[in-house]
Chains A and B, each alone.
Chain A
Amino acid sequence: MAYPANYRYTREHEWIEANGKSASVGITDHAQDSLGDIVFVELPKVGDKVEKGKVFGSVESVKAVSDLYSPATGTVTAVNEELTSSPEKINSDAHAAWIMKIELADPSELDALLKADDYEAYVKEETGH
Chain B
Amino acid sequence: MTASANPLRAGLRLARVAEPSILVIFGGTGDLTTHKLMPAIYDLARQRLLPAAFGVVGIGRADLSDAEYRAQARDAVAHNSRSRPIDEEVWRSFSERLFYVSVRSEDGYDDLRRRLAQFDAQLGTAGGRLFYLATPPAAYAPIVRALGRHDVARNGDGWARIVVEKPFGRDLESARALTHTVHEVFREDELFRIDHYLGKETVQNILVLRFANAIFEPIWSRQYVDHVQITVAESVGVDDRAEYYDSAGAMRDVVQNHLLQLLTLVAMEPPASFEAEAVRDEKVKVLRAMRPIGRDEIEARTVRGQYDAGYIEGATVQGYRQLREIAPESRTETFVALKLFVDNWRWEGIPFYLRTGKRMPKRATEIAIQFRAVPHHLFSAEAREGLDPNTLVLRIQPEEGISLRFGAKVPVQGIRIRSVAMDFVYGASFLVDAPDAYETLVVDALRGDGTLFTRQDEVEEQWKLVDPILAAWRESDGEAPRYPAGTWGPTEADLFIGRDGRRWRQP
Indicate whether A and B interact. Answer: no
B positions within 8 Å CB-CB of A: none
